[in-house]
Structures are given as C-alpha cells and as structure tokens.
Amino acid sequence: MRNRDSNKEIKLRQTALDMIVKKGLDEFSIQKLARAAGVSPATIYIYYKDKEDLILSLYKEESQRMSEETMKNFDPAMPFSEGLRIQWMNRSRYIMEHKDKAIFIEQIRHSSLHEKVIGMVNETFKDKMDRFVHHAIERKELVKVPVEVYWSVAFAPLYSLVQFHQLGVNMAGNKFTLSEDIMNQTLEIVLKGLKPDES
C-alpha cells in the first residue's frame, strides 16, 4: 500500500474543486481528475473511496471553513441588528474573497448530493445561529416566523447583491459594484421587515 502525501492530496482537492466549479458535477470523474492532476487514478483511491467520497469530503471541509469565517466577531448574545450586520459583512467578504469555494458549496447544495450534505452542518455554527435567533425573539427584536421565512428575508437580499457584484451588472444590465452604503441600505430594510409590530 502506498503512503499518503499531504501535498498531493491538497493538489487533488484544489484541482477537483476547480474542475467542478468550471465544468459541473456531471462532467467530473476520477479519470478526468487524474489526468488534470497528472496522477494515476489509483493514486486518488489512496485518499478517497470513490468520486462521491471525494466530493463530500471537499464539501465538508469548505463548508466548515465558510462557517468559521461567518462566525468571526459574532456572539449569539449580541443585539439582533448588530449580529445580522456582522453576519452580512462576514458572508459577503467570504463569498467575494473565495468565489470558487462559495460556488462549489452552492453547486453541491443544489445537486443530487443535497440530502447527504444537509446533515454536515457545523454543530457549533448551528447552535450559535439558533441561540442568536432565540435571544432576538425573546428580546422582541425579531418576529417569530418559520426558519425558511427568516432565512429568505434575512439573507437572500445579501446573496442577490453579492451575485450582482460578481456579475458586475444588475438585472437591467447596468454596471453594479456592491458598496457599504448599498449593503447598509438593504440591511436596514431587512431589519425593518423582521422587526415585530409595536402594537
């Protein structure tokens, strides 16, 4: 049995991620990865059981990294508006600085592997987000809605802005660059939409 080489494994993972982002999951295979990485397919099987094992391992690592970046300077006990602002800043920064990794994560979430990756959510991340939402509801800073509604209102606007930024144009085809002012303006609207009625 051949020994594992950490440098070779890192190269395989990066090559696999690049291939999946550029060509999609359907075009990805162990044979094509071996050719692109300049190794034999047998070398890849030293590290991974099969193609799915490689993809799931890569997803777990990248989603873990994204979760950690999202949690920087974040405390679940902080006021809702401040916590959501930090979440927006961290998420947008991560996606813009690691575009290919963010695309890869989304590709896997919207693939036939989605049921296998749904259970891979980082427990620390999940716990902090749950506590953040519950504290905000208890303090009457956040309206109580189903998690799908919360997520759609709290984060979908941010992801749309980041997507426009990455494309460099808005839906009308006009030039677009995401600025802090635009992000803050959008966040204020989101915060108003999630605030409970005063009555």
pLDDT tens digits, residue range 30-78? 999 999 999 999 999 999 999 999 999 999 999 999 999 999 999 999 9
Residue 1 has pLDDT above 50, yes or no: no
Provide the mean pLDDT of the chain. 93
pLDDT digits (tens, 9 = 90+) for 89-98: 999 999 999 9
Residue 120 has pLDDT above 80, yes or no: no
Q: What is the largest CA-CA distance in the chain?
A: 70
Nearest to 98 by CA among 75, 129, 57, 67: 67
Q: What is the pLDDT of residue 118?
A: 81
The size of the chain, in residues, is 199
At residue 100 the predicted structure's pLDDT band, cuts being 50, 70 and 90, is very high
pLDDT digits (tens, 9 = 90+) for 141-185: 999 999 999 999 999 999 999 999 999 999 999 999 999 999 999
Q: What is the pLDDT of residue 3?
A: 66
Cα 191 versus chain centre, distance:
22
At residue 19 the predicted structure's pLDDT band, cuts being 50, 70 and 90, is very high
Q: What's the token pair of residue 13? A: 């993972």
Burial level of 73, CB count in 10 A (0-12/13-18/19+)? exposed
Q: What is the pLDDT of residue 7?
A: 84
Beta bridge partners of 42: none
Q: Interior CA angle at 54 toward 53 and 59, to 5°?
A: 100
Q: What is the pLDDT of residue 197?
A: 87
CB 136 within 8 A of CB 149: no
Tell me how far apart the terminal alpha carbons of the chain are, to the nearest angstrom.
70
Q: What's the token pair of residue 103? A: 């695309």
Q: Exposure pattern of 140-159 as b/e (b: 16+ CB <10 Å)?
A: ebbeeeeeeebeebbeebbe
| DSSP letter string, 142-159 | S----HHHHHHHHHHHHH
Beta bridge partners of 175: 169
Q: What is the pLDDT of residue 2?
A: 56
